[in-house]
Structure 1
């Protein structure tokens, strides 16, 4: 099968979306994927496209990341983010950061350093030294009572055949301070390898971490296309009575999407179709996916 020139998919979290929030989730994902797609159309890298798309999601308070982050039991915001380069297998990740406006930017700045994961004050110091903007009063919590299970993310494939994956989350409402979920853990909430493809996940972080869910999808993509490989998430999530959603792109550019949550905010674009497509459930994309 011929490889598509470029592809990008974003998600805004596996969760239940109230009817009055559906438009905001669709349009927010569409803006994010368009920002990344513009980079890919110009011949830019998957890494830059994924980083930019997640920045847009972090800046949108609709989503549980960046400005929309939730508060832990101490009333504080702690955010996680990660990005991976499928060409070099470089990883940058930060966890439990409070004073970084765009955690994905801090994660991306780590790609050229020996550490792959920095946490807390160490991560914030690194971000400050890298010249990144500190979080200001615009960082707000979403509505009280939102459990914050969701994570935002992106996978992208560029014209050079390179894959990137990125994630960002604002945590769980009311959780223990210092809690870190799956989002910044490679093989759990994300992974990318040019030879296979890339994945980004969302859902119950502890369940995703316990089952190495991202790694399971990557292993499946070694044998089958993305749209089949993503179905491996269902059995382990059923075993743990947990929710998850995954977006994936394989090395040929095929897209895979699966979730067992009520909704999964999504948007995608590729060189095969000119218009951005967005949805809040995978079934809405079936017709468009068949044309990719």
Structure 2
């Protein structure tokens, strides 16, 4: 039950290292924003660093040229193609500031899916030879997110969770939806009650799909004995495993 996390941390590349420093050297669980960056740098991590790549800058430029579409806004009216945005009820009071109907249609019809090319979550669980379990998740967040957005990555029980007595879980996908269900906490608690990893993972995904049938996401589950499985919805999911007995990493494919 030792946890450390950072969110909305800019200018520092090593998110997992920063989260570990929060766990090791503070009595807090989560640090955010500029102060999280300042903390990480003060603890010896490299920074401040420009983390933009030519690829990300090019993608952002094309997005701006496409009138900032797609995006994560809803029930709003933009003053122009890229905002500022206002709630519809406020905008209707001052008619004449709205953009074209075509732009509104584009905003309203935006798919909420998180696909293979617009997020980059990595979650990993490790069991040492003494049986201690650690799990961590790192992500750059959803592409085209609203500034200030925090997804499920730093939320304990959502993107990852572990208990030495039971096992661990990691998650990836549409974090804005998945974090509402704490799927990894659910997986570990289901295994605690006797479910095998496969059934626990499937149960957690089904709980989300019942409420949000169009969501995209996946979890992996591993119990304290090393038995592992995955479950997914909306895409084909792959995860890799390596144990001391294995000569190389093995990739497992899970179908919806």
Normalising by structure 1, what TM-score? 0.62
Measured after TM superposition, the shift of residue 265 of structure 1 is: 3.9
Match of 1:266 among 233, 239, 242: 239
Q: Quick check: 1:124 aligned with 2:37?
A: yes
Match of 1:215 among 178, 185, 188: 185
Q: Quick check: 1:224 aligned with 2:224?
A: no
Work out the number of aligned pairs and report it.
Answer: 194
For residues 239-254 of structure 1, what are the structure 2 equivalents within 5 Å?
A: 239-241=211-213, 242-254=215-227
In structure 2, relative to structure 1, the CA distance for the partners of 1:194 and 1:236 (3 Å cut) is same
Structure number with larger C-alpha Rg: 2
Q: Structure 2 CA distance, aligned partners of 1:135 and 1:165?
A: 26
Q: Is the 8 A contact 2:217 2:235 kept in 1?
A: no
Q: 1:93-140, CA deviations, whole angstroms, 9 ceiling, x for partnerless residues?
A: 000011111111100111122011000011001101101012534542
Q: Structure 2 CA distance, aligned partners of 1:255 and 1:128?
A: 36
Q: Quick check: 1:95 aligned with 2:13?
A: no
Q: Structure 2 CA distance, aligned partners of 1:265 and 1:124?
A: 32
Gaps of 5+ in 1: 1-88, 284-292
Find the residue that maps to 1:97 and give its secondary structure.
Answer: coil
Find the residue that maps to 1:210 and give its secondary structure.
Answer: coil
Match of 1:256 among 214, 221, 229: 229
Normalising by structure 2, what TM-score? 0.70
Find the residue that maps to 2:248 and give its secondary structure.
Answer: strand
Q: Structure 1 CA distance, aligned partners of 2:237 and 2:42?
A: 36
Q: Is the 8 A contact 1:245 1:260 kept in 2?
A: yes
Match of 1:195 in 2: 165
In structure 2, relative to structure 1, the CA distance for the partners of 1:243 and 1:150 (3 Å cut) is farther
Q: Structure 2 CA distance, aligned partners of 1:136 and 1:125?
A: 12
Q: 1:11-60, CA deviations, whole angstroms, 9 ceiling, x for partnerless residues?
A: xxxxxxxxxxxxxxxxxxxxxxxxxxxxxxxxxxxxxxxxxxxxxxxxxx
Measured after TM superposition, the shift of residue 150 of structure 1 is: 4.2
In structure 2, relative to structure 1, the CA distance for the partners of 1:135 and 1:263 (3 Å cut) is farther
Q: Quick check: 1:180 aligned with 2:150?
A: yes
Q: Structure 1 CA distance, aligned partners of 2:236 and 2:224?
A: 27
Of residues 146-155 and 128-137 in structure 1, the stretch that sits farther from structure 2 once superposed is 146-155
Of residues 173-182 and 257-266 in structure 1, the stretch that sits farther from structure 2 once superposed is 257-266
Q: Is the 8 A contact 1:267 1:277 kept in 2?
A: yes
Gaps of 5+ in 2: 64-114
For residues 1-292 of structure 1, what are the structure 2 equivalents within 5 Å?
A: 89-112=1-24, 113-134=26-47, 136-137=49-50, 139-140=52-53, 142=56, 144=59, 148-222=118-192, 223-238=194-209, 239-241=211-213, 242-278=215-251, 281-282=253-254
User: Which of the pair has the greater relative contact order for Cα pairs under 8 Å at 6+ separation?
Assistant: 1
